[in-house]
Structure formats: structure tokens, C-alpha cells
Structure 1
Amino acid sequence: MRMKFGTFARTGLMACAFMLSLGAAHAQDAKNYPDKMIKVVVPYPAGGATDTLGRMLANRLEGSWKQSAIVENKPGASGNIGSDQVAKSAPDGYTVLVGITAMIQAPFLYGKMPFDPFKAFQPVALLARSADLFVVPVATPANTLKDFVALVKANPGKYNYGSYGNATSSHIHGEMLKSQTGADLMHVPYKGAAPLVSDLLGGQITSAFVDVASIRSHLSSGKFKVLAVTGAQRFKILPDVPTMTELGYKAFEPYGWFGVFVPAGTPKEIVNKLSEEVAAMVRSPEGSAKIEGLGLQAGGEKADEFGRIMKTDSEIWGKVIKDSNIRIE
């Protein structure tokens, strides 16, 4: 089929005009953003650290932008239900997700995922970081991780480690420790951190990887010893506790994190406006104090840097999960 030059030219001009009008519309949307309610989706139940951070964010946006912002809890499937809802939302900045590290771990754990975290979302900013503590009951005859590993090897079948659920970061960390030491530690999964901490304090479990936020209120109880901490640096509130990396273990550097996301395709101007506001909240004295009060470290990295952190962490978690053969069917 032949097309006359005039028809071709008119078609090209129409396409260019459409793209220009679309760009102008996006620019106008960004200029007016926000001009209606913002929904902050938290893919976990109310009451946890993710929910608290989500409510901090909603309050900040409402106060700064004089526009209503609500939190919607959408728990289920390890956060995948709420995250998928946001992934399928309009990319206009009015549906925002507060996600955690599980987002980039899930593709390696599940046989099938409803979304690709790197294709379905645009990172906005990093809210906070978390670390896992490796702890043992105070009666344990070991004061260092090296001593504990030697104790386990000398008593095969006697010791175990608890986690706050199958395929959680604490489970992955436990399997990493087993793999790198050859220690005979049986995994005991709990339905969340609260029952794990309860059994640890009661001496029903012989060791555990527990996130700082879940155990912070018990740090001065005298009922357990903290032998090591995950992450790239020592934790601020536990300056005398060495990192797993310092002790010679590998791939324990990634932190758990809490971050803000919008659907892929959200105009860059809107992403940048959100990113600036989230970073300002996190870095403010009030915001950082609230975050540290949860037992977390304040973040503040903006969209591009947060995206780089996600990619690096994903590569490390993916290798560890594959090497440990951890799966959720």
C-alpha cells in the first residue's frame, strides 16, 4: 500500500502534536500536583513499623501540601497483595506504596510473582534502615559468636535458631550463618517477631536473628546477649556489638529497608517532588528522632540513589537465597 507524502506528513505532524500535548499535560499535572487526596498503601497490618512510617508519611504530606492523605492497610501474601494494587494503579502520584526489603527478595522466593519490582515501580526515597541482631539467652555459655559456633559444633542437635517466619530476612540470615560455619542449627519459624521475642526471653529458643525494632524495648532486660549485628556498620545504639562482616562472614552487609514507591511511568516531576518531601521529612530533627525511636536508622536517599541500593541489594539477596535453596511454594 502506497501513502502519499502529504498524508504521511500530516500523520507525522499529528503524532508529534499528540506527544507534545501529552508532555504538556504531564507538565501541567506535575505543576498542579497534588490537587486531590493521596493514598498511602501499606501492604502489612496496622501497628508495625511499616504502618507507623506510612502514617508519618501521610501526616507529613497532608501538613506540607495542605491536601488530604490517608493510609490504607492491604496485608497479605507477604506484602504482595498491597504492592500489586499499587503497581496496577494510575501512575499519577496519588497512590503511593511504603514497601520493604521483601519486595526485592520475593522474586527469588516465589515460583511466580504478580509483578516485577524493578519494572512495576519507580523508587521515590528511602525512609529507614533496619538491622538484625543475632542474640542468645543470657544463660548460654558463650559471649562471642565464635564461642557460640564452637559450642553448637560440640553439641550437635542441641541448638536451634528462631526467625520471624519462613523466607523472612531473619530466616535467610540464619541459613547464611549455617552455610558459612557448618553449625548444626535447626530452624524454628515463628509467625512474626513478637512470639519469637517472647520465647527468646523465656529461654525456649537457643538463638535468633531478630530485627532491632522488635527487640529494642528489651535490650536492657538482661535476659539475652547480643553477639553480632547485620549491616555495613555497627548499630548506633549498640556501639560495642561487632558486625557480621567484622567477624569474617560474607554478604551480611545489606540492611533491611523501608522505602516509598509509585507506579512505573509516574511523571519525573511528580517523583522528584515526592522524593524531596520524603527526604526532608526523614532528615528533619523530628522525623529522624521518630524513626530512631522505632529502633531504625533514618534514610533520606532520593530516587536515583535508592534505585541503585535496590539493585545492589537484590543481587546479594538473590545469590544467598539461591545458594541456601530457600523457596515459598
Structure 2
Amino acid sequence: MHAVRKCLAKMTVQALTALVLGNVAMVAGAADASSYPNRPVHLVVPFPAGGGADTVGRFLGAKLAERLGQTVIIENKGGASGAIGAGYVANAKPDGLTLLLGTTPLIQAPVFFKDLPYDAFRDFEPVARIALSADVLIVPASSGIESLAQLVEAAKKNPGKYNYGTYGNATSAHMHGELLNYQKNIELLHIPYKGTAPLMQDFLGGQLTIGLPESVGVRAHLDNPKLKALAVSGEQRLATLPDTPTFTELGYTDFEPNGWYGIVAPAGTSPAIVNKLSTILADIMAQPDVQAQFIGMGLSPGYGNAKQLKDWMQRDSVIWARMAKLGNIKVQ
């Protein structure tokens, strides 16, 4: 009996110790959040200055600075499809002072690269999803093609005649194009470009029969009478193209994932700090002027909290991997 009592007493002490330490950690986390940030915050954009991600990062950084009462410094660390910037943040101190503007390649890169400097799920704490992008399938208005069904029919009748331009090899658009080939058993020839700008230049110049630009890059051309939009990727229609159906509406599968922009922090960042940032971002994204700004960029405002972003990343990573395998897509 004495041994049993001694064992129970030991277990009680251990339980109390764990409870005290847990409470101390919670209090420390709350204290960190109340004083956060006490220094400038660095928002890493993993792409070069001047692109769509940079525009989103700088706009969002300015809004965050207003709410946080601290300077938000934008750091462009481009290269390797965003992997260099992501790796930098993955190895940063988890104090909430170094954040990453996460984008779709964060979860796509592991499909194509084995030796990444980060693990998309182990090395980051999702904070919030901000906005969604989509790929837009366009054809020349002069083609007379009015629907995706008509395009597929034309491609089947004329194998090898149709090509499609994308903003790069192994991108979302590339996977969407090959998925269309696979699901409809057609042969659209892929022509990759280094970004949407040169893609649109050749499309408008009559050198492409199909374009698959991203919604941000094609936004400025949507009123051009030379093009006709037939379908968009994602779960919902774009605000800038309300009359253009999604691939899903048209009966296609695995076109549901959107491109996305969000904020992630290094793994181990205090939950209290993550929650504070997520709450601030929710308020920012609820403002009509902010929503209008994102729509003007060709994006759909799409706030999601930390858990929603994590679930979204996990779901979409599986779909992107499946798409890459079906299309036999490899980095060239």
C-alpha cells in the first residue's frame, strides 16, 4: 500500500508540474501577443519585385503596418519557384517578426523537387488565407469558338492544330492544360512562357490558339475584343468574369483548386501571435475598399483562418500531385 501511495503521489506531482508549466506557457504566449510586435516585421515575398505576388505583398504589408503600429518591411527573395524565400522563413526565429507571403507553389514544389529547403506542413504555421486567383482559358474571338465544348470538339477533329500557352512549365496552368488533355483525350501542345506578360503578347499577336493566363496577369486585357474567355479554374466564378463558368460547372474534375495568397509563419510561432495576426487580417479583408482593391488586381478576396488555410493546403497538395502525375509533368 505504501508503494501504491508513493506512486500516486509521484503521479500527482508530475500532473501538477505539467499543469503549472502549461499555464506558464499560456501566460507567456499571451504576454508575447500583447506586446507583439515590438520591432519591425519582415514580410518575405518569395518572388522578384514587380510581379503579382510583390504587388499583393506590398499592399498587404502597408495594411498590416497600420494595424500593428510597426513598420512592415517587404523582402523579395525570389528564385527556384519561391523555394528560396520559403526556405529562408522556414529557418527564421519563430517570433512572428518574419512572415512569408505564401502562394500556390509552396505546396506544388514538393511534387517536382526532392531537395527543398523546407517542408510545407512541418516547417510553417498557417496564419490566414487572403485571396484567390484562377487560370482563365481564353481563345481568339476571331476563332468563332464560343464554348469549351466547341473547343474540345474542334481539337478532336483537328489533332495537333491547337496549342496552349501558359506562364511557365510545371505551373498551375500547365497542369490544368494537361488535365484537360487527359480528361477529353485531346492533344493540345503546351508552350510555356516566362510569365503572363510574354504569353499575352504572343496570344494577342495571333501566335497562340489558346491561352491559359493567370487572372492577375490577364486582368488588364479582359475588355480586349480580341479574346474570348471560355472557363476559369477554381470553385467559384471570378468577380471580373461573372459570365464565364468554372471548369467544375462544365463537368470537369480536379479543377477546383485555386491559386492562393496567404500568410504563414515559421513553425513554433506562438499560437497567441498567430491568432492575433489572423484576427487582424480578417478585419483587413472585411473592408470594402480592400476587397475592391483585390478584385481590381484580378483576385477574389478569400479570407480563411489558420485552420482553414491548413486544411486548404493539405487538400490541394493531394490534387496537384495527382494532376502532375496524370499529365506526366516534370520540371524541364
**Shorter-chain TM-score range:** over 0.9
- Write the distance in 1 (CA, Å) between the matches of 2:205 and 2:171: 22
Please tell me whether residue 229 in structure 1 is matched to residue 232 in structure 2: yes
Could you say if the C-alpha distance between residues 178 and 305 of structure 1 is closer, same or farther in structure 2, counting changes exceeding 3 Å? same
Question: What are the ranges of 5 or more consecutive residues in structure 2 without an aligned counterpart?
Answer: 1-11
Q: In the TM superposition, what whole-angstrom CA distance separates every residue of 1:90-126 from its partner, at most 9, and x where no partner exists?
A: 1110001101111111111213322111111111111
- Partner SS, residue 109 of structure 2: helix
- Write the distance in 2 (CA, Å) between the matches of 1:74 and 1:41: 7
- Write the distance in 2 (CA, Å) between the matches of 1:153 and 1:224: 22
- Partner SS, residue 174 of structure 2: helix
Could you say if the C-alpha distance between residues 253 and 11 of structure 1 is closer, same or farther in structure 2, counting changes exceeding 3 Å? closer
Q: How many angstroms does 1:236 deviate by? A: 2.1
Please tell me whether residue 185 in structure 1 is matched to residue 192 in structure 2: no
Could you say if the C-alpha distance between residues 135 and 104 of structure 1 is closer, same or farther in structure 2, counting changes exceeding 3 Å? same
- Write the distance in 2 (CA, Å) between the matches of 1:143 and 1:235: 18
Matched-pair contact (CA < 8 Å) for 2:29–2:273? no
Q: How many angstroms does 1:12 deviate by? A: 10
After TM superposition, list the pairs within 5 Å mapping 1:212-223 onto structure 2.
212-223=215-226
After TM superposition, list the pairs within 5 Å mapping 1:198-217 onto structure 2.
198-217=201-220
After TM superposition, list the pairs within 5 Å mapping 1:284-299 onto structure 2.
284-299=287-302
Q: How many angstroms does 1:51 deviate by? A: 1.1
- Write the distance in 1 (CA, Å) between the matches of 2:15 and 2:254: 53
- Which residue of the other structure, out of 63, 66, 70, is the alignment partner of 1:67? 70
What do you get for the CA RMSD once the two structures are aligned?
A: 2.2
- Partner SS, residue 176 of structure 2: helix
Q: How many angstroms does 1:28 deviate by? A: 2.3
- Write the distance in 2 (CA, Å) between the matches of 1:105 and 1:226: 26
Q: How many angstroms does 1:262 deviate by? A: 0.4
Question: What are the ranges of 5 or more consecutive residues in structure 1 without an aligned counterpart?
Answer: 1-8
Please tell me whether residue 27 in structure 1 is matched to residue 30 in structure 2: yes
Q: In the TM superposition, what whole-angstrom CA distance separates every residue of 1:20-47 from its partner, at most 9, and x where no partner exists?
A: 6555443322221111110010001112
Matched-pair contact (CA < 8 Å) for 1:145–1:228? yes
Q: In the TM superposition, what whole-angstrom CA distance separates every residue of 1:165-217 from its partner, at most 9, and x where no partner exists?
A: 00111101001011111111111000111100111111111102111111111
Matched-pair contact (CA < 8 Å) for 1:111–1:328? no
Moved over 3 A (4+): 9-27
- Partner SS, residue 303 of structure 2: coil
TM-score scaled by structure 2? 0.91
Provide the identity percentage. 46
Q: How many angstroms does 1:151 deviate by? A: 1.1
- Partner SS, residue 122 of structure 1: strand
- Which residue of the other structure, out of 146, 149, 160, is the alignment partner of 2:163? 160
Q: Match of 1:49?
A: 52
- Which residue of the other structure, out of 263, 267, 271, is the alignment partner of 1:264? 267
- Write the distance in 1 (CA, Å) between the matches of 2:195 and 2:183: 25
Amino acid at match of 2:204: L
- Write the distance in 1 (CA, Å) between the matches of 2:258 and 2:14: 52
Matched-pair contact (CA < 8 Å) for 1:110–1:327? no
Could you say if the C-alpha distance between residues 149 and 13 of structure 1 is closer, same or farther in structure 2, counting changes exceeding 3 Å? closer
Number of aligned residue pairs: give it.
Answer: 324
Matched-pair contact (CA < 8 Å) for 2:29–2:271? no
Please tell me whether residue 148 in structure 1 is matched to residue 138 in structure 2: no
Q: How many angstroms does 1:328 deviate by? A: 2.3
Matched-pair contact (CA < 8 Å) for 1:128–1:299? yes
Matched-pair contact (CA < 8 Å) for 1:108–1:322? no
Q: Match of 1:282?
A: 285
Q: How many angstroms does 1:237 deviate by? A: 2.2
Amino acid at match of 1:276: T
Could you say if the C-alpha distance between residues 12 and 181 of structure 1 is closer, same or farther in structure 2, counting changes exceeding 3 Å? closer
TM-score scaled by structure 1? 0.92
Amino acid at match of 1:114: P
- Partner SS, residue 44 of structure 1: coil
Matched-pair contact (CA < 8 Å) for 1:43–1:73? yes
- Write the distance in 1 (CA, Å) between the matches of 2:189 and 2:198: 17
- Write the distance in 1 (CA, Å) between the matches of 2:160 and 2:176: 19
Could you say if the C-alpha distance between residues 21 and 151 of structure 1 is closer, same or farther in structure 2, counting changes exceeding 3 Å? same
Q: In the TM superposition, what whole-angstrom CA distance separates every residue of 1:25-78 from its partner, at most 9, and x where no partner exists?
A: 433222211111100100011122211221122212221222111100000000
- Write the distance in 2 (CA, Å) between the matches of 1:10 and 1:148: 72
Matched-pair contact (CA < 8 Å) for 1:163–1:188? yes
After TM superposition, list the pairs within 5 Å mapping 1:29-178 onto structure 2.
29-178=32-181
Matched-pair contact (CA < 8 Å) for 2:132–2:302? yes
- Partner SS, residue 126 of structure 2: strand
